[in-house]
Structure 1
Amino acid sequence: MVEYSDMTLTCRDCGTQFVFSAGEQAFYAQKGFTNRPSRCPSCRQAYKSRRDAGGNYASGGGGYSSAPRGDRQMYPATCDECGRETMVPFMPSGNKPVYCSDCFAARRQAAYPRY
């Protein structure tokens, strides 16, 4: 069994020193992490907050943000499947079918069944 002892590290963002405790080292080893933390706890939290709210490809967000979008412009339409009046988040052009949420979900399920 490996013995761990507290070590002092320097934050790469703010330059302050912080303690990488023996308990944290054991946790890192248990999880299979091979690198020591490079940021102090407060900079680590700030980095995670920026990363999670990112919304661009460079931040690992895949181009989508988890931040709320605010009000979304909705447009009236008639479902081409069931004929029900519905609202959609795009302006129907008339050259493609438009579906209400129920019919859209049913068509998606039929096209991509889960195993």
Structure 2
Amino acid sequence: MFQDKTIVCKDCGQEFTFTAREQEFFAEKGFTNEPQRCKSCRDARKGNVRGGSARQMFDAVCSECGKPCKVPFEPRGDRPIYCSDCFRR
């Protein structure tokens, strides 16, 4: 049903292959747009969006169970904080 397709990266201008398997995956997920960037440009873009480094994490204590945890925002004290286990519940 799907066939490999050659696409030109909009950032670097290099050709890359949008494989039949990738197209099938996109269709299963309901994605309607084809990729516009090659893998290396996508990876570089993700790094730039995040500042090129890991997200800063802050120490906190879970409001529900009292366990120490890390959160991706600086706790202010005016809202409860949950560890990942309590947050999932």
TM-score above 0.5: yes
Which structure is richer in relative contact order (CA contacts within 8 A, separation 6 or more)? 2
Q: Which amino acid aligns with 1:66?
A: R
Q: 1:66 to 1:19 in 2, by over 3 A?
A: same
5 Å-filtered alignment, 1:3-18, equals: 3-18=1-16
Larger radius of gyration: 1
Which residue is equivalent to 2:72? none
1:43 pairs, out of 41, 56, 75, with 41
What percentage of residue pairs aligned between the two structures are identical? 44
Q: Deviations over 1:10-45 (max 9, x none)?
A: 000000000000000001111111100000011011
Q: Scaled by the length of structure 1, what TM-score is found?
A: 0.46
Which residue is equivalent to 1:96? none
Q: Scaled by the length of structure 2, what TM-score is found?
A: 0.59
Give 1 or 2: higher strand fraction. Answer: 2
After TM superposition, where is structure 1 displaced by more than 4 Å over at least 4 residues in a row? Answer: none
Unaligned runs of 5+ in 2: 58-74, 81-86
RMSD of the alignment, in Å? 3.1
1:29 pairs, out of 27, 30, 40, with 27
Cα distance in 1 for residues equivalent to 2:8 and 2:32? 17
Work out the number of aligned pairs and report it: 64
